[in-house]
Amino acid sequence: MTAKVIAFLNQKGGCGKTTCSINVAAMLASQGHRVELINLDPQGTAIDWAETRGEHASPEDINFRVSSMGVNVQKELGAAKMANDYIIIDGSPTASKLTIAAIKASDLVIIPLKPTQADIWSTDSTVQYIHEIHDMRDQQKPLCYFLPTMVLTGSKISRTIASDLETGYGLPTMNRHTSQRIAYQDTFEKGGTIMNLDEHDKARHEIKMLSKEIEEICAEIK
Ligand SMILES: Nc1ncnc2c1ncn2[C@@H]1O[C@H](COP(=O)(O)OP(=O)(O)OP(=O)(O)O)[C@@H](O)[C@H]1O
Ligand SMILES: [Mg+2]
């Protein structure tokens, strides 16, 4: 079995691509899966994070490799796909060529999105690339989902947004989301992930449930 390739992509900056990538990677690795995280962002945030993680991180956080690739990611992934169960790609906010390359290399694209109108409008280009690749291939490959991120505690992430996204962009929304929680920033800044937190911590729990949903979607991909 070769690895399932999951990319967190959205050309809107600061929507949670890196945060979701490192935390989902750490959660899946902690469950015994072989995971590699690929930084596709010229800013190199995931690489910077990886360089600090040795000092403060929990054992789970150093359980997976982090490396960088570029526009040839599909080709470059060959060996990593043979050696892993999951490859997680942390996408770039700026470079369209990298976004397109990541869509082509992936089995599943997740579009993290703050559920505000301004952020929804800013996903236009990412969604357009996905539809172009689906049209070119004449099939819905890779599978693509929106993921609401930084949802304010107390606000219900309404299914109206999910239904607006589906109507407006023709793509479904995941059942899970991430809430606005300081724990994500705190753990990141210490070179760790939510795996550093207590097992019953809310941020850790929501990443656990998000990872479970990702695994379930991946299990359906041939
Ligand atoms: N659920 C969350 N709750 C609170 N803060 C969050 C959450 N998710 C992300 N953040 C914070 O928001 C900021 C942007 O997140 P992140 O770096 O993951 O976004 P990004 O999409 O990777 O950004 P870029 O487009 O620059 O690569 C960071 O400071 C991060 O700690
Ligand atoms: Mg990032």
Segment 123-182, tens digit of pLDDT = 999 999 999 999 999 999 999 999 999 998 777 666 778 888 999 999 999 999 999 999
N-term to C-term CA, the chain: 11
Average pLDDT for 115-129: 91
CA 19 to ligand 1: nearest atom: 18
Q: What are the tens digits of pLDDT across the range 7-53?
A: 999 999 999 999 999 999 999 999 999 999 999 999 999 999 998 87
Looking at residue 117, its pLDDT comes to: 84
The domains found in the chain, sorted by start residue, are: 4-217 (3.40.50.300)
Find the 39 Cα to ligand 2 centroid distance in Å. Answer: 9
The neighbour count for residue 65, using CB atoms within 10 Å, is 16
Looking at residue 52, its pLDDT comes to: 86
Q: Checking DSSP bridges between strand 108-113 and strand 143-148, what pairing results, if any?
A: parallel
The sheet with strand 108-113 has its strands ordered as 65-68, 35-39, 86-90, 4-8, 108-113, 143-148
Q: What are the tens digits of pLDDT across the range 52-82?
A: 876 666 666 678 999 999 999 999 999 999 9
Binding site membership of 191 for ligand 1 (Cβ less than 6 Å): no
Distance CA(94)–CA(10), nearest Å, equals 9
- Omega prior to 142 cis, within 30 of 0: yes
Q: Can you read off the two tokens belonging to residue 49?
A: 């994070």
Binding site membership of 151 for ligand 1 (Cβ less than 6 Å): no
Binding site membership of 188 for ligand 1 (Cβ less than 6 Å): yes
Per DSSP, 3 falls in state P
Model confidence, pTM: 0.96
Looking at residue 163, its pLDDT comes to: 87
Binding site membership of 14 for ligand 1 (Cβ less than 6 Å): yes
CA 45 to ligand 1: nearest atom: 27
